[in-house]
Amino acid sequence: MIETLRQKKKIPVAVLGATGSVGQKFIQLLDRHPWFEIAVLAASERSAGRPYGEAVNWVQESPMPGNIANMKVFASEPGFDVPLVFSALDAAAATGIEKAFAREGYMVISNARSYRQHPNVPLMIPEVNSDHLAALEHQPFGAGGIVTNPNCSTTGMVMALKPLHDLFGLEQVHVVTLQALSGAGYPGVSSLDALDNVVPFISGEEGKMESEPKKLLGRWNGQNFVEEELRISASCHRVPVLDGHMESISVKLKKKATEKQIIEAWESFRALPQELKLPTAPKQPLHYFSREHFPQPRIHRNLEKGMAVSIGRLRPCSLFDFKFSVLVHNTIRGAAGGAILNAEMLVAQKRF
Ligand code: NAP
Binned average pLDDT, 10 residues per bin, the chain of 352 residues:
62 98 97 97 98 96 94 98 97 97 98 97 98 96 96 98 98 98 93 97 98 98 97 98 98 98 98 98 98 98 98 98 98 98 97 88
Q: Are 135 and 122 spatial neighbours (Cβ–Cβ below 8 Å)?
A: yes
Do 66 and 162 belong together in one domain? Answer: no
Q: What is the pLDDT of residue 167?
A: 98
CA-only gyration radius of the chain, Å: 19
Ligand 1 centroid to 27 CA: how many Å?
14
Ligand 1 pocket by Cβ (under 6 Å): 17-23, 43-44, 46-47, 76, 88-91, 93-94, 111-113, 152, 182-183, 185-186, 330-331, 334-335
Active site residues: 152, 245
Count of H-run helices and E-run strands, the chain: 12, 14
CATH of the domain at 315: 3.30.360.10
| Residue 67: domain span | 7-150+336-348
Q: What total of structural domains would you count in the chain?
A: 2
Task: Name the residue of 16, 19, 22 to mutate for ligand 1: max ligand atoms within 8 A of Cβ.
Answer: 22
Task: Name the residue of 44, 114, 245, 342 to mutate for ligand 1: max ligand atoms within 8 A of Cβ.
Answer: 44
Nearest CA to ligand 1 atom 20: 44
Do 74 and 189 belong together in one domain? Answer: no
Do 186 and 93 belong together in one domain? Answer: no
- For the CA of 17, the nearest atom of ligand 1: 9
* Distance (Å, whole) CA 242 – CA 329: 10
Do 169 and 282 belong together in one domain? Answer: yes
Q: What is the pLDDT of residue 5?
A: 56
Do 206 and 307 belong together in one domain? Answer: yes
* Distance (Å, whole) CA 10 – CA 19: 23
Category of 277 on φ-ψ map: left (φ > 0), alpha (ψ -120 to 50) or beta: left
